[in-house]
Amino acid sequence: VRFAHERLGQPLEEALRMASLYPAQAIGADRKGSLAAGNDADFIVLSEDLDLLSTWIGGACVHEAEAERRKASA
């Protein structure tokens, strides 16, 4: 996402679609690629700088960046 946005000059919204919606569509994964009722709720949370903060699969957090864990426990 960061590369497509910063280096290739893609608008952030398009870079996000390029990393999520378009690959899901390409493989026919109808319940992936966007957040909508009935979808799998697989997503990542990015900071304003596009750093990975957390990863969610099926609506459950499966990874949280170390910095975020430290912030939450402070």
Which ranges of the chain would DSSP assign to H, the alpha helix?
2, 12-19, 21-26, 66-73
Q: Which residue has the higher pLDDT, 72 or 39?
A: 39
Is 70's pLDDT higher than 80? no
60-69: per-residue pLDDT in tens? 999 999 866 6
pLDDT at 66: 85
> Which pTM value belongs to this model?
0.78
2-58: per-residue pLDDT in tens? 999 999 999 999 999 999 999 999 999 999 999 899 999 999 999 999 999 999 999
**Contact call for residues 41 and 32 (beta carbons, < 8 A):** no
- Domain assignments of the chain as residue spans, ordered by start: 2-73
pLDDT at 55: 96
